[in-house]
Structure 1
Amino acid sequence: MRRAGLFLVMLVLILSTVYSAGNNEKAAPTTIVKNSMKVWVSSGAEDTVYKTLFTEMEKELGAEIVDEYYPKDELDSKLQVAQVVGDAPDMIIVDYLQIPAYYETGLVAPLDSRISKDLLSDLIPSVVAESTYDGKLVSVAQFDAGMGLWANKSMLEKAGVRIPTSYKNAWSKAEFEDALKKLKDSGVKSPIYIRQNKPSSLYFTYMPVLASFGGDYVNRKTMLAKGTLDSEETIAAYDYMSYLMKQGYLDGSVDYENAFFGRKESALALIGHWKYTDHVTNLGDDAIVIPTPDFGKGVFTCSGSTVWAMTTTATENGSADLVWKVLEKSLDPKYMRMVTDFNGAIPSRKSVMDTVTELQKGGRLYIYREQLEAGISVLRPLTPAHMTIYTAMQNATADILFGADARSTLVQTAKEIDEVILENGWNL
């Protein structure tokens, strides 16, 4: 009986050991490689093109790409909680200004170890600048923005207005005002359109005007708004918006998108490359681009664009290699031209830019290239406080367009922005 009992005990111990070893073998960590990925896109003019692009990439890579599109503010809200909720995407396509905040929260993964030196050296400097944060490459971009004044060539010629062909012979402030008067006198209802129906976009498009007046959104050394957003120079730039309305050159109440290219109520439009298709389709050869005027401190353009970034979630769930293949494919000439031929932006690679006829000297969009190569572009503040500043300026600009006093509006706005920046430690 004792021998039988000992045998049973030994048998139990042996079976337990085998069972434990089997379980340990199953529990050993393994590298999971996924052949599917999820991407969240900040919805915009390129949505349809992106959908086509991802469908083609799926076929080429033999992978599944689930692409979802959300308005900018909604996407930002989703990304702020995505890691906590557990539904973060593997890749995001957003405004480059949103990347710092996502990087600081641990959502965005660096790409330095993945991108080749040859590819990196082919990217235009302004794209490398917007894609770099905390000394690391944290995103890639298919294009940089083109920014200037779109103009109706026939309207300018009819009014006897000189047409600048380079930032070097841009209108002065006085000549700009003379041009607006001539256009008004020639029968143009509202000579200039600045996208009054979407004040949020003026955070980008008004930057060249702001810089030319000597103003800015924040002090680039302290990253605080007080003393800069409410400076005499910035106030003067926004007072100028009120001046244009009082003169009848700008209708602040316009709530539709096609005042320039559709209704032809305006001869000038302060807007970037993204309306390229609408402008060219509706105006043909009359759609031209000229530089923004020199309002006293020089001629400027604004750069910065939509970027593609890998999330840390991709590394955690095994899709990082696939995400990088997609990021790398996005920089192929084929996919880059698919997007830039639609939106009229500047390809982010020098080699691809050289293949675009309209970006060569004498081409419709050459001014975009000339300005970037001349180094006269300004970036909006690259800070985790971007959404705070962006939202505050959207509200302030809307108020000024509806008649609010620029000085009191900007003083209050600067105070509100700094309260949030200081509370979060976002000042440098």
Structure 2
Amino acid sequence: MKKTMKRVVAGALALSMTMLMAACGGSGESTVSSGSAAQPSSGSTASAATIKVWVSSGAEDDVYRETFEKMESELGITINDEYYPKDELDSKLQVAPVVGDSPDLIVADYLQMPAYYEAGMIQPVDEYISEDLKSDLLQSVIDESTYDGKMISTAQFDSGMAMWANKSMLEDAGIRIPTSYTDAWTKEEFEDALAKLKANGVEYPLYIRQNKPSSLYYTYMPVIASFGGDYVNRDTMLATGTLDSPETIAAYDYISWLCDQGYMNPACDYEDGFYGRKESAIALLGHWKYTEHVDALGDDAIIIPIPDFGHGVFTCTGSTVWAMTTAAVDNGVADAVWSVMEKSMDPEYITLVTDFNGAIPSRYTVMEADPELQEGGRLYLYREQLEANIVVLRPLTPAHMTIYSAMESVMADVIAGADAAEALSAAAQSIDEIIIENGWNIE
């Protein structure tokens, strides 16, 4: 993030917050600090502190509850953890500094952090994290946790993104099963596989989580990249000309084609089409359905690479991160928050979550101890793809929620039968209006 952009955004946000506080009859003082790095207190103790944690609600909620309960006992810290859907969490965080209700720790998608950092809400942790711990982290985790040249978060895992498949269904239909990104299906092979599955009695061969189009902002991105498209131009950070390019349109037209062929169910409003109802043989989903897939399908639950649609095979990277807020510094609980963040990186706590969600441990030493991530293991493809660096990242920008919301609508509309070119053109224009208005593409 360039300094000019930071000054423009931070200044605008500071002005709007000041005006809002005045309108509300506030004193004009804010709990948002300057964002300068806080030095750990020499000889201080984090015990007996109380911290507030806001978590972006998801499949791992119960794991986090167990995590925080164990940490309370081990660290002697009271942890008040609250869980909110992503959109609600974002809305709460936008007003939290103004109303004096900021959390001390945020656990959320890494892409939400740039906007919060620009607003002065996130405390860098460079002064806290040890070199020993940092050197054990996957490079992709360091990349997602670094913004404006500072490390602003930590992560217990990186995501695994490919396609889940029902091994027996593929074998029964006489379909070749790729085991590496290097032997992924071509577009033609993929379509042949779908046709064979359909002819073999599989009602809807492909499940792409039609009931939750917001998640397709992430899971469909490797497909978009393989068609040669993207959400924004990575140089200008604007959408027009890229989101509505022929390549991106082709990727979304493909969804319409899949629906027209009867290969996916556009009216699907449930989660278990692949692993429960078994009406699908392939699911475009990442690691987060690991437990459901393995519990329901056993050895039939395998992962295979996303096909090559013409521009190569891709996966996505990025995950849930833990970030200290500047409110923690103002509240005098920064050391306590860091003790929780640091504890979350212990192998015990990393494996607690990755054993549940099937993600890639953020630390090399933990990954090496997991049999499923060794060659021949069920999840080795995730590791292989990550180490081969065939990754595509969602745009790392304060405009993340703007793009995310727009693409949720586009995906829902296209699945429902809307024209992809029209939907993408309208989305590109609306996204750029907001980006330009806020100066989010200024270098």
TM-score range, shorter chain: over 0.9
Q: Distance in 1 between matches of 2:55 and 2:122?
A: 15
RMSD: 1.0
Q: How many residues get paired?
A: 398
Q: Look up the SS of the partner of 1:41 in the other structure.
A: strand
Given the alignment of the two structures, is residue 68 of structure 1 paired with residue 82 of structure 2, yes or no?
A: yes
Q: Write the distance in 2 (CA, Å) between the matches of 1:208 and 1:74.
A: 27
Q: Distance in 2 between matches of 1:171 and 1:272?
A: 18
Larger Rg: 1
Separation in 2, partners of 1:375, 1:360: 17
Structure 2 residue aligned with 1:319? 333
Report the counterpart of residue 407 of structure 2 in structure 1. 393
Shift in Å, 1:32: 11
Instruction: Confirm or deny: 8 A CA contact 1:152 1:287 kept in the other structure.
Output: yes
Structure 2 CA distance, aligned partners of 1:70 and 1:110? 24
SS of 1:150's equivalent in the other structure is strand
Instruction: Write out the 4+ residue segments of structure 1 that deviate beyond 2 Å after TM superposition.
Output: 31-34
- 1:155: which partner in 2? 169
Partner SS for 2:201: coil
Give the Cα separation in 2 of the matches to 1:251 and 1:347.
34
The answer to whether structure 1 residue 228 and structure 2 residue 242 are counterparts is: yes
Find the counterpart in structure 2 of residue 217 from structure 1: 231
CA distance in 1, matches of 2:176, 2:425: 38
2:318 alignment partner AA: G
Q: Distance in 2 between matches of 1:59 and 1:270?
A: 39
Counterpart AA for 2:361: P
Letter in structure 2 aligned against 1:412: A
Q: Which SS does the other structure have where 1:94 is aligned?
A: strand
Match of 1:18 in 2: none
How many angstroms apart in 1 are the aligned matches of 2:253 and 2:91? 33
Asked whether the 8 Å contact 1:32–1:318 carries over to 2, the reply is no
- 2:149: which partner in 1? 135
Does residue 258 of structure 2 align to residue 244 of structure 1?
A: yes
SS in 2 for 1:271: coil
SS of residue matched to 2:383: helix
**Aligned pairs for 1:99-118 within 5 A:** 99-118=113-132
Equivalent residue in structure 2 for 1:183, among 172, 182, 197: 197
Q: Find the aligned partners of 1:55 and 1:114 in 2 and give their Cα distance.
A: 23
The letter of the residue matching 2:363 is R
The answer to whether the aligner puts 1:356 opposite 2:377 as a matched pair is no
Alpha-carbon distance between aligned partners in 1 of 2:246 and 2:149, rounded to the nearest angstrom = 34
**How does 1:217-366 map onto structure 2 within 5 Å?**
217-366=231-380
Instruction: Find the aligned partners of 1:227 and 1:71 in 2 and give their Cα distance.
Output: 32
Q: How much has 1:36 moved relative to structure 2?
A: 1.1
Is residue 416 of structure 2 the alignment partner of residue 402 of structure 1? yes
Whether the 8 Å CA contact 1:336–1:347 is kept in 2: the answer is yes
What is the deviation of 1:392? 0.3
Inter-partner Cα distance in structure 2 for 1:308 and 1:32: 21
SS at match of 1:147: coil
Separation in 1, partners of 2:101, 2:260 = 50
Aligned mates of 2:45, 2:200 — CA distance in 1: 68
8 Å contact from structure 2 (residues 45, 335) kept in 1: no
Alpha-carbon displacement from aligned partner over 1:127-148 (angstroms, at most 9, x marks no partner): 1111111111000000000000
**Offset at residue 184 of structure 1 (A):** 0.4
Separation of aligned partners in 2, 1:307 and 1:220 = 23
- Does 2:87 correspond to 1:87? no
CA distance, structure 2, for counterparts of residue 412 and residue 83 of structure 1: 33
Deviations 1:147-181 (A, max 9, x none): 00000000000000000010000000000000000
Decide whether the 8 Å contact of 1:43 with 1:70 is kept in 2. yes
> Are 1:195 and 2:209 matched, yes or no?
yes
Q: State the distance in 1 between where 2:307 and 2:118 align.
A: 37
8 Å Cα contact 1:275-1:343 kept in structure 2: yes
The match for 2:110 is: 96
SS at 1:196 equivalent: coil
